[in-house]
Structure 1
Amino acid sequence: MATPSSTLAGKRILLGISAGIAAYKSALIVRLLKQAGCEVRVVMTEGAQAFITPLTLQALSGEPVRTSLLDPEAEAGMGHIELARWADAILIAPATADLIARLVNGMADDLLTTLCLASEAPKLIAPAMNQAMWRHRATQRNIALLAEDGWQPIGPGAGDQACGDVGPGRMSEPEEIVTSLFDRLASSAMTAADTRNRHVVITAGPTREALDPVRYLSNHSSGKMGYALAAAAHAAGAKVTLISGPVSLATPSGVTRIDVTSALDMHTEAQRLAPTADLFIACAAVADYRAEHVAEHKMKKRGDSETLTLTLVKNPDIVAEVAALAAPKRPFVVGFAAETRDTQDYARDKLTRKGLDMIVANDVSQAGLGFGSDDNAAWLLWRTPEGVESDTQPPQPKSALAETVIQRAFDLLDTSSSMSLSPTPPGAS
């Protein structure tokens, strides 16, 4: 495991432990955190105490272990609120299916869930359970919802399980968990001075291009990736405006949302807001064409005709127009490319042709990734003064990919601001 940065020494970590055989690994997590210079306080559920004793964790952490919400001594001074405010980060390892279900429903029926509800600190969770329980649709739905709420899942891994089954559900190893925690804390560190005054504008979801009062042209975009980006940008401390096409998603906490329907609507809002932005992310799946004429009334079948001819006209290229803005109105511009073949070739072409600073490309033909799914994989491509660099992101929750994209964009924005990196003009080779 890489040695954590010295800037992370002294971080206050609240470790939650729920009932699972993997609880024995939590002792090593405490040890690793202490070796890194963190302060550690442990909170155990009632069931966790059947697998590892509070005394063991007290000896390793050097702090009393909390096990009850109704501890008269601790709660004399509203101890659970004090503990929630104390934490720089909350890590739950292991997290059972039951605990995950209670967290996603906002329950506060024991000390650990109450602390999670009362704390605004970054939260990470390491699931551990039987492979069938992990694969169950309810658990997959719950972990996806937790990720949308800002939790960062770690793992689980796959392999032999205590029950004799083989498959996914093993808690990730302590070293991997601690590394993920350090990465999250390092990412969260760029709040305050780095992002407090930054404005991020993001487009998300599909557009609908009317044919008549009943019908329209659209696509399969659910908006999940764009909304995850908005949540990640807000978590990084930025002011976020989300220009959203028609989706059935809740607005991320702290994000200003502007609803639009058509590509022309989205174009109008993007042109209005882009000059106020430091970072513009075009994640929406904007229709390339719209009907030349929208019928005033519902179109009817025309006798015995087997065909219907529609004349379509090109919609404005929103991201290219934003990228073509002149300084100082031009933000740092990130585009998306959803492809079904030759993903990297098309992404390189789009990066150059549209004058973007960075592009996130994904193959939406892969099962379980892209449109409508909770996971995504991507190829990140960006320009630097030295040329073009890239990075491959494997399949992962969209919330995790969003954090990577936002971190990368902010890092590049810092570099371009300090070095006055000029964009490649559209059409340049």
Structure 2
Amino acid sequence: MNLSRKEFLRLAIASGASAAFGLPRASLAAGLTGTVSYLTYEALPTTKKVTGELVAALEAANPGLKINVLFTSPEAVRKQVSSMLQSGSAPDLVNLDLEDAVLYGHAGLLEPVTSIVSKIENLPDRWRARLDGQDFFVPMGVKFTYSWYRSDLLEKAGLTPPKTWDEFQSAAAKLTGNGQYGYVVNSNETGDQPVSTLFSYAFSNGVNFIDDDGNILFAEGDNRAALADTLRFLAAMSKFSPSGAGFTWGDIINSFASGKVAMADYIGSRLYSVVAQNNPALAQFTKPFVQPYGKSPANRLSAEGFMVFRNAPNKEAAKAIAVYLREGRRYFDYLWSIPLHVLPTTKEAFLGDFQQDPFVRDHQDIAKVVEASWDVARNPVYDLNGKKAAWQRARIYTSTVYNKMLATVIQAGGDPNAAIEQAAKSAKSLLKNG
């Protein structure tokens, strides 16, 4: 990207403008050289533009530096990383999820970034990939799971957004019929969307899946009973859903955007953004609400951020770029390019200067649901009550063990307890291989 002098100066002094936002001043990194590969799955046009401008400004300040950015999907990033590692090379800087960082870190593939992470104020432990006393993940943003509803349909039916599973099931039943579905359930045997939904509801029903030492808990005692209840709940909700046997994240959005689904769950606000773009008439009736709970409110948290690979050819420059993108106004510009979907990593920042963005100010209904969801969010690598990141949790979560358990109950009408027993056997077998 070629920047005019005016554009470069605007970006270069962005840290000065940060003072007006109450953000820390941040100067451009200097003395960086070499070619750095940067892989990211945040590929909205607005995000590409902001990232391109930030990269161009840093390159202009460092004539010996070249940053090659690859914008793609999470699955494509993982395949690219795998391909590079198998060929004996390694990417410099990668934007992926906390689960990925825990697995790569456990395998000894990542460079410690503790010196960077330790300087992030008020960062909750539950979105750090901290293994054996070292951090291997620079959190860039977080997303929370919450639900969406058609306000026109609920008002017509005399309903308010449900808070509990019983209310949710009753509302979905009332909103189903004549080509209309009350809810949408994904039971695909691959992909992380079905598992994300399962974990969000299971956490709200008190399920602990795996302990800090990697022992399987979900097939034992109260956890087993609560997980079986969760599976029964999702199976019951699937009766009010189009078939989700082959669904992806995008299919959840498209089902809602088509106007045929009254309620849906999603991580972050991307569902709303796509609806607003593809079906503006529907967007005015698309409203968020806190995801209904079983025993108490909870939801599945997603954390994304930077990893620097241990054998990367330019890892010191990669670390400097990670710091650069997280500093001052640059950081908020990046987050604002993914409107209310990827959020600051601290609640203080979210409730503070982040609120000054026009989109955030204009969508306080989403902001309030996010705030209500913040403190009860949990990531699968920490589980519901874990105290440390466990690679065993990440290994099973990113496999198809939970997908198959869910599909057995929803698609095949299988017994939840039998499905749980089989999932536990598969999980233990998988963990034997490390």
Q: More relative contact order in 1 or in 2 (CA 8 Å, sep 6+)?
A: 2
Structure 1-normalised TM-score? 0.21
Structure 2-normalised TM-score? 0.21
Instruction: Point out the structure with max Rg over C-alpha.
Output: 1
Larger helix proportion of the pair: 2
